[in-house]
Chains A and B, each alone.
Chain A
Amino acid sequence: AQSVTQLGSHVSVSEGALVLLRCNYSSSVPPYLFWYVQYPNQGLQLLLKYTSAATLVKGINGFEAEFKKSETSFHLTKPSAHMSDAAEYFCAVREGGYQKVTFGTGTKLQVIP
Protein backbone atom coordinates (compact mmCIF):
# COMPACT_ATOMS: atom_id res chain seq x y z
CA ALA A 1 0.00 0.00 0.00
CA GLN A 2 1.14 3.49 -0.75
CA SER A 3 1.87 5.99 2.03
CA VAL A 4 3.83 9.11 2.82
CA THR A 5 5.47 10.22 6.05
CA GLN A 6 6.10 13.85 6.78
CA LEU A 7 8.74 14.49 9.41
CA GLY A 8 7.84 17.37 11.68
CA SER A 9 4.32 18.61 12.16
CA HIS A 10 5.60 22.15 12.75
CA VAL A 11 8.61 23.90 11.23
CA SER A 12 9.72 27.45 12.01
CA VAL A 13 12.15 29.42 9.89
CA SER A 14 13.26 33.02 9.80
CA GLU A 15 12.27 35.17 6.88
CA GLY A 16 14.96 34.79 4.22
CA ALA A 17 16.16 31.43 5.53
CA LEU A 18 16.08 28.10 3.74
CA VAL A 19 12.86 26.13 3.90
CA LEU A 20 13.17 22.33 4.08
CA LEU A 21 10.10 20.16 4.56
CA ARG A 22 10.67 16.43 4.62
CA CYS A 23 8.64 13.70 3.01
CA ASN A 24 9.35 10.00 2.63
CA TYR A 25 7.13 7.72 0.60
CA SER A 26 6.31 4.06 0.38
CA SER A 27 5.04 2.59 -2.84
CA SER A 28 5.20 -0.79 -4.48
CA VAL A 29 5.39 0.72 -7.94
CA PRO A 30 6.90 3.94 -9.33
CA PRO A 31 4.80 6.65 -7.81
CA TYR A 32 3.50 10.03 -8.69
CA LEU A 33 4.38 12.43 -5.88
CA PHE A 34 2.90 15.80 -5.03
CA TRP A 35 3.24 18.70 -2.68
CA TYR A 36 0.14 20.73 -1.86
CA VAL A 37 -0.21 23.90 0.18
CA GLN A 38 -3.19 24.88 2.30
CA TYR A 39 -3.76 28.42 3.53
CA PRO A 40 -6.17 28.99 6.43
CA ASN A 41 -9.80 28.31 5.60
CA GLN A 42 -8.98 27.28 2.06
CA GLY A 43 -8.70 24.09 0.06
CA LEU A 44 -5.43 22.51 -0.97
CA GLN A 45 -3.54 23.90 -3.95
CA LEU A 46 -0.91 22.04 -5.96
CA LEU A 47 2.63 23.32 -5.50
CA LEU A 48 4.44 20.79 -7.68
CA LYS A 49 4.37 17.19 -8.88
CA TYR A 50 6.79 14.44 -9.82
CA THR A 51 5.76 12.24 -12.71
CA SER A 52 9.00 10.36 -13.50
CA ALA A 53 10.31 12.91 -15.97
CA ALA A 54 12.95 15.03 -14.19
CA THR A 55 13.96 14.18 -10.64
CA LEU A 56 14.24 17.85 -9.70
CA VAL A 57 10.83 19.43 -9.93
CA LYS A 58 10.16 23.14 -9.82
CA GLY A 59 6.86 24.47 -8.65
CA ILE A 60 5.09 27.70 -7.95
CA ASN A 61 6.25 30.41 -5.56
CA GLY A 62 9.91 29.40 -5.82
CA PHE A 63 9.48 25.92 -4.32
CA GLU A 64 11.19 22.84 -5.66
CA ALA A 65 11.51 19.19 -4.69
CA GLU A 66 13.90 16.41 -5.57
CA PHE A 67 12.85 12.80 -6.06
CA LYS A 68 15.44 10.43 -4.61
CA LYS A 69 14.54 6.82 -5.25
CA SER A 70 17.42 5.44 -3.18
CA GLU A 71 16.20 7.35 -0.16
CA THR A 72 12.47 7.10 -1.00
CA SER A 73 12.32 10.83 -0.35
CA PHE A 74 10.68 13.84 -1.92
CA HIS A 75 11.69 16.80 0.24
CA LEU A 76 10.38 20.29 -0.47
CA THR A 77 12.76 23.25 -0.43
CA LYS A 78 12.79 26.97 -1.00
CA PRO A 79 16.02 28.98 -0.79
CA SER A 80 14.54 32.01 0.95
CA ALA A 81 11.38 32.00 3.03
CA HIS A 82 8.83 34.76 2.68
CA MET A 83 6.15 35.69 5.17
CA SER A 84 3.52 34.66 2.64
CA ASP A 85 4.86 31.07 2.72
CA ALA A 86 3.32 30.51 6.14
CA ALA A 87 0.80 27.74 5.56
CA GLU A 88 0.36 23.99 5.94
CA TYR A 89 2.10 21.76 3.41
CA PHE A 90 1.05 18.26 2.46
CA CYS A 91 3.02 15.59 0.68
CA ALA A 92 0.94 13.09 -1.31
CA VAL A 93 1.47 9.92 -3.32
CA ARG A 94 -0.42 8.23 -6.09
CA GLU A 95 0.56 4.87 -7.45
CA GLY A 96 0.60 4.75 -11.21
CA GLY A 97 -2.52 3.18 -12.62
CA TYR A 98 -4.57 3.96 -9.53
CA GLN A 99 -6.45 7.15 -8.84
CA LYS A 100 -6.32 7.07 -5.08
CA VAL A 101 -4.11 9.84 -3.69
CA THR A 102 -2.86 9.40 -0.13
CA PHE A 103 -1.83 12.45 1.86
CA GLY A 104 0.67 12.86 4.65
CA THR A 105 -0.26 14.39 7.97
CA GLY A 106 0.93 17.84 6.97
CA THR A 107 3.62 20.25 8.16
CA LYS A 108 2.74 23.72 9.36
CA LEU A 109 5.34 26.24 8.32
CA GLN A 110 5.80 29.33 10.46
CA VAL A 111 7.91 32.18 9.09
CA ILE A 112 9.39 34.47 11.71
CA PRO A 113 10.07 38.08 10.74
Chain B
Amino acid sequence: DAGVIQSPRHEVTEMGQEVTLRCKPISGHNSLFWYRQTMMRGLELLIYFNNNVPIDDSGMPEDRFSAKMPNASFSTLKIQPSEPRDSAVYFCASSPGTENTGELFFGEGSRLTVL
Protein backbone atom coordinates (compact mmCIF):
# COMPACT_ATOMS: atom_id res chain seq x y z
CA ASP B 1 0.00 0.00 0.00
CA ALA B 2 1.19 3.48 -0.78
CA GLY B 3 2.09 5.60 2.18
CA VAL B 4 1.98 9.38 2.47
CA ILE B 5 3.64 10.87 -0.58
CA GLN B 6 5.39 14.22 -0.46
CA SER B 7 7.00 16.26 -3.17
CA PRO B 8 9.52 17.58 -3.79
CA ARG B 9 11.93 15.67 -1.55
CA HIS B 10 14.45 18.47 -1.81
CA GLU B 11 14.00 22.11 -2.73
CA VAL B 12 16.65 24.79 -2.90
CA THR B 13 15.44 28.29 -3.60
CA GLU B 14 16.44 31.87 -3.14
CA MET B 15 15.01 34.26 -0.62
CA GLY B 16 11.85 35.89 -1.86
CA GLN B 17 10.78 33.05 -4.09
CA GLU B 18 7.52 31.18 -3.69
CA VAL B 19 7.72 27.59 -2.48
CA THR B 20 4.95 25.02 -2.79
CA LEU B 21 5.14 21.69 -1.02
CA ARG B 22 2.72 18.93 -1.89
CA CYS B 23 1.24 15.99 -0.04
CA LYS B 24 -0.92 13.03 -0.93
CA PRO B 25 -2.30 11.35 2.19
CA ILE B 26 -3.11 7.69 2.57
CA SER B 27 -6.39 6.84 0.92
CA GLY B 28 -9.23 6.72 3.42
CA HIS B 29 -7.49 8.86 6.02
CA ASN B 30 -9.53 11.95 6.80
CA SER B 31 -7.05 13.92 8.90
CA LEU B 32 -3.93 15.58 7.53
CA PHE B 33 -1.16 17.34 9.38
CA TRP B 34 1.76 19.56 8.35
CA TYR B 35 4.80 19.57 10.65
CA ARG B 36 8.09 21.44 10.42
CA GLN B 37 11.31 20.00 11.85
CA THR B 38 14.40 22.02 12.68
CA MET B 39 17.36 21.42 14.94
CA MET B 40 16.47 24.41 17.07
CA ARG B 41 12.73 23.94 17.47
CA GLY B 42 12.21 20.22 16.91
CA LEU B 43 8.90 19.08 15.46
CA GLU B 44 6.28 21.80 15.27
CA LEU B 45 2.69 21.32 14.17
CA LEU B 46 1.85 23.98 11.62
CA ILE B 47 -1.72 23.12 10.70
CA TYR B 48 -4.10 20.20 10.52
CA PHE B 49 -7.19 19.40 8.53
CA ASN B 50 -10.12 17.14 9.22
CA ASN B 51 -12.27 16.15 6.24
CA ASN B 52 -10.45 18.78 4.16
CA VAL B 53 -11.34 21.58 6.59
CA PRO B 54 -8.57 23.43 8.48
CA ILE B 55 -9.14 22.84 12.17
CA ASP B 56 -6.14 24.42 13.85
CA ASP B 57 -3.66 26.70 12.10
CA SER B 58 -2.27 28.28 15.24
CA GLY B 59 1.15 26.88 14.47
CA MET B 60 1.49 28.62 11.13
CA PRO B 61 4.38 31.03 11.66
CA GLU B 62 3.00 34.05 9.84
CA ASP B 63 1.01 35.22 6.89
CA ARG B 64 3.72 34.11 4.50
CA PHE B 65 2.57 30.54 5.13
CA SER B 66 -0.66 29.13 3.76
CA ALA B 67 -2.06 25.63 3.42
CA LYS B 68 -4.91 24.21 1.42
CA MET B 69 -6.64 20.89 1.05
CA PRO B 70 -8.89 21.10 -2.00
CA ASN B 71 -9.84 17.43 -1.80
CA ALA B 72 -9.26 14.33 0.29
CA SER B 73 -6.23 13.23 -1.69
CA PHE B 74 -4.16 16.40 -1.95
CA SER B 75 -2.79 19.20 0.18
CA THR B 76 -0.32 22.01 -0.36
CA LEU B 77 1.79 24.15 1.92
CA LYS B 78 2.90 27.39 0.37
CA ILE B 79 5.49 29.89 1.53
CA GLN B 80 5.47 33.27 -0.17
CA PRO B 81 7.90 34.97 0.01
CA SER B 82 10.38 32.50 1.42
CA GLU B 83 13.11 33.49 3.87
CA PRO B 84 16.31 31.72 4.99
CA ARG B 85 14.76 31.01 8.41
CA ASP B 86 12.15 28.87 6.66
CA SER B 87 14.84 26.30 5.89
CA ALA B 88 13.67 23.05 7.49
CA VAL B 89 12.25 19.64 6.76
CA TYR B 90 8.52 19.78 6.27
CA PHE B 91 6.55 16.65 6.99
CA CYS B 92 3.06 15.75 6.01
CA ALA B 93 1.22 13.09 8.03
CA SER B 94 -2.20 11.57 7.78
CA SER B 95 -4.41 9.79 10.29
CA PRO B 96 -7.56 7.71 10.00
CA GLY B 97 -9.55 10.28 11.96
CA THR B 98 -11.07 11.41 15.23
CA GLU B 99 -12.36 8.01 16.26
CA ASN B 100 -8.88 6.59 15.96
CA THR B 101 -6.24 6.71 18.65
CA GLY B 102 -4.37 9.31 16.68
CA GLU B 103 -1.56 7.34 15.14
CA LEU B 104 0.12 9.44 12.49
CA PHE B 105 1.55 8.11 9.24
CA PHE B 106 4.37 10.32 8.02
CA GLY B 107 5.73 11.01 4.59
CA GLU B 108 9.46 11.12 4.00
CA GLY B 109 9.53 14.88 4.19
CA SER B 110 10.47 17.80 1.97
CA ARG B 111 13.82 19.35 2.80
CA LEU B 112 13.70 23.06 2.04
CA THR B 113 16.77 25.24 1.81
CA VAL B 114 16.28 28.96 1.31
CA LEU B 115 19.45 30.80 0.35
Contacts and interface: CB of A to CB of B under 8 A. Distances in A.
Q: Do A and B bind each other?
A: yes
Interface of A: 32, 34, 36, 41-46, 49, 51, 90, 94, 97, 99-106
**B-side interface mostly:** strand
Given A43-B91, A99-B31, 4 more contacts: A41-B109, A99-B98, A103-B42, A106-B43
Nearest to B45: A100
B14 interface: no
Most chain A beta carbons < 10 A, residue from B43, B48, B50, B95: B43
B25 interface: no
Nearest to B43: A103
Nearest to A50: B101
Contacts of B18: none
Contacts of A100: 45, 48, 56
Contact of A34 (B98, B103, B107): B103
Nearest to B9: A41
25 contacts: A32-B101, A32-B102, A34-B102, A34-B103, A36-B104, A41-B108, A41-B109, A42-B108, A43-B93, A43-B107, A43-B109, A44-B43, A49-B103, A51-B101, A99-B31, A99-B48, A99-B50, A99-B95, A99-B102, A100-B48, A100-B56, A101-B33, A101-B45, A103-B42, A103-B43
